[in-house]
A and B are shown apart, each in its own frame.
Chain A
Amino acid sequence: MTGAPATLLEVRDLTATFSRDGVPSRVVNAISFDIAPGEAVGFVGESGSGKSVTARAVMRLAPEGSSIEWGGRIRFKGQELLNLTEREMRDVRGRRIAMVFQDPMASLNPVMSVGQQIDDMLVRHTGVSARAARKRTVELLSLVGIRDPQIRADDFPHQFSGGMRQRVLIAIAVSCQPDLLIADEPTTALDVTVQAQILRLLMRLRRELGMALMLITHDFGVIAGMVERVYVMHGGNIVEAGEVDALFAEPKHAYTQALLAAVPRIESTRRPA
């Protein structure tokens, strides 16, 4: 490979087909998009639009017990992800591409301390010793804003609030300094006051670690100030794409307009064109 590719993630004609009782249904319909290194991109749409499935496609994570057929091309740093074996994919997950999920309450293993859950990530992908891993774990916990990280590392998930658990999960996700961080509705399950904190944390980490960010949400309000470009999804298709400011000012597609109208604004008298 000569020279680094300009695009970090290049997706072409991605399709995802669920099979239930032998009846197939297409949830993502030949979409294409790009993410450049260090870029922040948003995916907006209501539930069922296929945005979460798209995120799972990049990680190739089908939900347990169901089978999804992926089609199209997903090129990450020049490598075709859909051609990789499951074993090779495991080397990519967590190390090069990491993910933060929606519900922090159920996302941590209840019988392991939070420290152990960051340690095992570090040991697995960077091969350091347990002691070195724990040192780094404490640094990471501090990085995401957890007080007394040394002590807290030995605590169990049920001893943390929802917002704190999400911080831990973010720590896990960035621990190996991935090139791309996918955040699937990272604040939806959190209190409003905590939401802003988490979003700010994501922004800060992205800046400091130079990661690209793929932010999935149904809430246009979350997108504002977080990403540079947006893809709007509906019914498994990308209906509109563009720079954030442009989209806010002049949404072209009827659906985008509807989504924007749903966001409570300070200038309540003015409605988008």
Chain B
Amino acid sequence: MSEAPTRPRSRGQLLFTIGIGMLIALLVIAAFGPLIAPYNPSTTSPNSLAEPTAAHWLGTDSIGRDLLSRLIVGGRSTLIITFAAVALALGAGLVLGLTSGYLGGKVDLTIMRLLDVVFAFPVFLLAIAVVAALGPTVRNLILTIAIVYTPAMARVVRGPVLSVKRWDHVEAARSVGVGEFAIALRHVLPMVVSPILVQTSLILANTIFTVTALSFLGLGPPPPDPNWGSMLAEARQFMELAPLTVIGPAVAIVFASLTFIVLANGLREMLDVGSR
């Protein structure tokens, strides 16, 4: 009953290309947002909850601010926090995962136990608690999210390291006297790259969720900068009157997450990581 299999590699490349395209769109918006936006996102007007018109392509929100502009500029803080947090988590995860996996033994055990503590928390609740305690500044958000995702990253890195460590050419290099650090860098690291790329994309998608969810609850970067999560929350009040105020941010959030998921799927099929 099985049809001829489509070749994963080319489909992967297609997905990857689409993902990159979406990513570029996101980055452009993040970088040049205020320049592209037709209006100043904070400018209020008496023309509230307006339908889409030529002047306001997506209408306005409850205090007359142009929705399109707010969406464009709103992506900025979300994306900056996302990228910064994941970059940090990646760095920390790499260090911890490589060390733990490569050195093994007691070091491995200790590090993993420590990470287990963070892992035990429902991730989102932990983020809420921390941000609540330390205050919702951009810096705190980045740090919190980075800490929360570091264990996942470390685990992803550690896995391949553990298996590669035993490979023959690593043994060979060791027997010739190549230093441990050099071995780790030149032999182990390249093998680890593919699963890390895939995981990073997935974690990026997840982070978008966490950041927008936090701002939805009012724990995101404080106003007046718009961001998608809080826009969604505010829109709830009058949503039947102006559905676009809900649909706009919703689509934006989904687009951003989808970018990374498409990238992850594309990478997965291209690099043949865990293909079935």
List the interface of chain A (C-beta within 8 A of B).
Answer: 21-22, 65, 67
Residue pair A65, B5 in contact (C-beta under 8 Å): no
Among residues of B, the one whose C-beta sits closest to the C-beta of A22 is: B4
Residue pair B2, A21 in contact (C-beta under 8 Å): no
Complex Cα–Cα for A21 and B2 (A): 11
**A-B contact list, 5 entries, CB within 8 Å:** A21-B4, A21-B5, A22-B4, A65-B2, A67-B2
Chain A contacts for B2, CB-based, 8 A: 65, 67
Complex Cα–Cα for A50 and B5 (A): 26
What is the CB-to-nearest-CB distance from B219 to chain A, in angstroms, rounded to a whole number? 46
Complex Cα–Cα for A144 and B218 (A): 72
Complex Cα–Cα for A268 and B74 (A): 88
Among residues of B, the one whose C-beta sits closest to the C-beta of A67 is: B2
What is the CB-to-nearest-CB distance from A138 to chain B, in angstroms, rounded to a whole number? 39
Complex Cα–Cα for A21 and B5 (A): 7
Complex Cα–Cα for A67 and B5 (A): 13
Among residues of A, the one whose C-beta sits closest to the C-beta of B5 is: A21
Among residues of B, the one whose C-beta sits closest to the C-beta of A20 is: B5
Which of chain B's residues 188-227 have a Cβ closer than 8 Å to chain A? none
Q: Render B1-32 as a binary contact track against A, CB cut-off 8 A, 1 for contact.
A: 01011000000000000000000000000000
Sort A-B residue pairs by CB-CB distance and give the 5 closest, nearest first. Answer: A22-B4, A67-B2, A65-B2, A21-B5, A21-B4
Complex Cα–Cα for A130 and B5 (A): 44
What is the CB-to-nearest-CB distance from A69 to chain B, in angstroms, rounded to a whole number? 14
Complex Cα–Cα for A67 and B3 (A): 10
Among residues of B, the one whose C-beta sits closest to the C-beta of A66 is: B2
Chain B contacts for A22, CB-based, 8 A: 4
Chain A contacts for B4, CB-based, 8 A: 21-22
Among residues of B, the one whose C-beta sits closest to the C-beta of A65 is: B2
Chain B contacts for A65, CB-based, 8 A: 2
Complex Cα–Cα for A156 and B215 (A): 54
Which of chain B's residues 28-83 have a Cβ closer than 8 Å to chain A? none
Complex Cα–Cα for A22 and B2 (A): 12
Chain B contacts for A67, CB-based, 8 A: 2
Chain A contacts for B5, CB-based, 8 A: 21
What is the CB-to-nearest-CB distance from B11 to chain A, in angstroms, rounded to a whole number? 15
Among residues of A, the one whose C-beta sits closest to the C-beta of B4 is: A22
Complex Cα–Cα for A129 and B2 (A): 38
What is the CB-to-nearest-CB distance from B162 to chain A, in angstroms, rounded to a whole number? 26
Complex Cα–Cα for A65 and B2 (A): 7
What is the CB-to-nearest-CB distance from A111 to chain B, in angstroms, rounded to a whole number? 23
What is the CB-to-nearest-CB distance from A137 to chain B, in angstroms, rounded to a whole number? 34
Among residues of B, the one whose C-beta sits closest to the C-beta of A19 is: B4
Complex Cα–Cα for A65 and B5 (A): 11
Complex Cα–Cα for A67 and B2 (A): 8
